[in-house]
């Protein structure tokens, strides 16, 4: 496939087109992934989440620049679960795209509307494409609302949770459960008052409530000046190295892949299997049997599943 | 099964226990449904939705009383997608339960937290139990936020959308798309100013934007005094009679049952099939094959689906 070859050569326009295809759940997108997913797996995938306004984009930019200067090829996927827009058409993206064009960093935003089968499926597919295209570092950025941060944690090797000393982020974070997915915490805007206090509170929360996470590194950053960013990158590197040593890195990839496979299977059921003409006829006949009192809904549903896959 | 017999006899405590079992997705709940669902299908299921504070509970109470006085046996399921509480333990429920105890109206609230496989699945299962227990009218009440009103429309024969002249309900309703599921609209608090204006705006919206719905009856009600409630009940009766005549009533039941069967099938996949020991082993092995670059995720997921059902 010509498009697949162009993606493998790392051409940005081919990559952009390929991501659109997988985003829509199009058959061409799946054919592409069948070719390209086996070529993925080399890139490190870092998830980055936090409340709106905490400085995620700035941190992603700084991290991207840092790694690029070290010779890495960086790709960014910005996931906005609250936006109906998709495909890199946002103003913020255009600004970032300009910077990206100068620096060979590929930036893509994805939004939930119009994504078939869930943002998580599409995000992981897009990460595979970036990976196959030769990107060595993939940053997955999402605003921490609802489920999106859980999804990012299933797509990433390492998750950085960002908080700021402002506006009760810490309390919110403890209540929302986002700390449970944190492999590292970055307290951004550390120059504002309250960063030490927040660090102390988080430390206490990890010690008391989340003992399995009591060694989570907490870093202080000022993304808008770049202060603390090399230390954050270093902490990620150290964590990854330790996990590769212990086997935890591969273990997490496996468990992420397991949940990905289940989600894809459910997506295939919803799109391919239920939508075939045969299946529609069978579902309708089953509905009639249940309404006639001949069978129970659970018995019928089980049978439908079996028939759909025969 | 003793519990099934007690439900069939209409015993409120057995019914409450049975609903808890199906709510949790417990195997006993499914066994109960296998016995009891074929005994369901006689009751009329009316969905009632609208924004918070519009007067849904009061309207449900008034409709319940009215139908009870006509010899109907009424069951109410109040679905709260925003509440973490379930099982009728809310203060509002206790108040309503008192009234219910006096009047033989069975009231049950269901909340999303802790409901396995989605509120829609559990709501429809609970409605089957109420139906099998001899209730002849089932009122499904839900606050119109997010997806819950769509789910109620898939569980109901007829949906009443409630609005009030206050606080921009009409504009919100037009924007949110809730009018698309309305079989009837009740403008409650019709004694407050603006009811005529809202009726006119809705009429225009139906004529211009939703022509397939241009004959949707719009009723004026004052639930707290009972004014307009008999007319609302009459409009529902007339609609149901017309649809039974035309065949639309049965057609909707079929299409509701089709989507119910698909949802149950997906629920079974998530609970039974993925969770068996065999399946876990297979999913893990598949994840390893994908990570080794031997297979693509979509190919593997498809195979997993087939194997899960073999």
With both helix axes pointing from N to C terminus, report the angle between A148-155 and A248-268 in degrees, rounded to the nearest 10: 120
What is the average pLDDT across B30-53? 92
Chain A residue at shortest CA distance from B36:
A296
User: B209 phi and psi, to 5 degrees?
Assistant: -100, -25
Contacts of A230 (CB under 8 A, 6+ apart): A66
CA distance A53 to chain B (A): 25
Of B261, B301, B305, the CB nearest to A300: B261
Q: Is the pLDDT of residue B84 over 50?
A: no
The interface pTM score, or ipTM, of the predicted complex is: 0.81
pLDDT band at B151 (very low <50, low <70, confident <90, very high): confident
Residue B62's Cβ-side half-sphere holds a number of Cα atoms within 13 Å equal to 20
CB distance from B41 to chain A under 8 Å? yes
Chain A nearest-CA distance from B32, in A, is: 10
C-alpha A276: how far from chain center:
31
Task: Decide if A298 touches B, using CB distance below 8 A.
Answer: yes
Cβ <8 Å between A296 and B262: no
B141–chain A nearest CA distance, Å: 23
**For the segment A152-182, what is each residue's pLDDT rounded down to a tens digit?**
888 999 999 999 998 677 777 777 778 888 9
The radius of gyration of chain B from alpha carbons, rounded to an integer in Å, stands at 21
Q: In whole angstroms, give the CA distance from residue A119 to residue A109.
A: 11
pLDDT digits (tens, 9 = 90+) for A3-36: 999 999 999 999 999 999 998 888 899 899 999 9
Q: How far apart are CA A73 and CA A47, in angstroms?
A: 16
Instruction: Give the best residue of A113, A258, A281, A300 to mutate against chain B (max B CB count within 10 A).
Output: A258
Answering whether pTM is above 0.90, one says no
Q: How many residues does chain A have?
A: 310
Residue in A with minimal Cα distance to B283: A258
Q: How far apart are CA A159 and CA A183, in angstroms?
A: 5
CA distance B82 to B92: 15
Touching A: B residues 261-280, CB under 8 Å: 261-262, 264-270, 273-274
Q: Do A293 and B254 touch (CB under 8 A)?
A: no
Residue in A261, A287, A293 closest to B304 by CB = A261
The residues near A215 (Cβ < 8 Å, ≥ 6 apart) are: none
């Amino acid at each position: 496939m010509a498009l697949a070859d162009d993606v493998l050569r790392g051409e940005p326009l081919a990559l952009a087109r390929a991501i659109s295809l997988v985003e829509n759940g199009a058959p061409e997108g799946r054919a592409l992934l069948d070719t390209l997913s086996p070529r993925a797996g080399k890139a490190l995938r870092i998830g980055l989440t936090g409340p709106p306004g905490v400085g995620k984009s700035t941190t992603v930019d700084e991290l991207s620049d840092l790694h690029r200067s070290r010779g890495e090829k960086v790709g960014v996927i910005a996931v906005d679960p609250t936006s109906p827009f998709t495909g890199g058409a946002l103003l913020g993206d255009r600004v970032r795209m300009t910077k990206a064009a100068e620096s060979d960093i590929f930036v893509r935003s994805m939004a939930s509307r119009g994504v078939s089968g869930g943002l998580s499926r599409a995000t992981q597919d897009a990460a595979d494409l970036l990976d196959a295209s030769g990107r060595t570092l993939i940053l997955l950025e999402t605003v921490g609302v609802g489920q999106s941060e859980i999804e990012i944690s299933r797509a990433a090797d390492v998750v950085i949770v960002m908080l700021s000393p402002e506006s009760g982020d810490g309390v919110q974070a403890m209540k929302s459960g986002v700390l449970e997915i944190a492999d590292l915490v970055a307290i951004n805007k550390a120059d504002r008052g309250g960063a030490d206090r927040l660090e102390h509170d988080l430390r206490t929360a990890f010690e008391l409530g989340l003992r399995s996470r009591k060694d989570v590194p907490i870093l202080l950053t000022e993304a808008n000046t770049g202060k603390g960013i090399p230390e954050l990158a270093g902490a990620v590197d150290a964590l990854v190295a330790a996990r590769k040593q212990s086997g935890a890195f591969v273990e997490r990839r496996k468990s992420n892949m397991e949940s990905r496979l289940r989600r894809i299977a459910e997506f295939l059921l919803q799109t391919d299997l239920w939508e075939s003409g045969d299946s529609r006829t069978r579902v309708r006949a089953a509905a009639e049997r249940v309404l006639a009192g001949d069978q129970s809904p659970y018995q019928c549903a089980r049978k439908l599943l079996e028939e759909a896959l025969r």
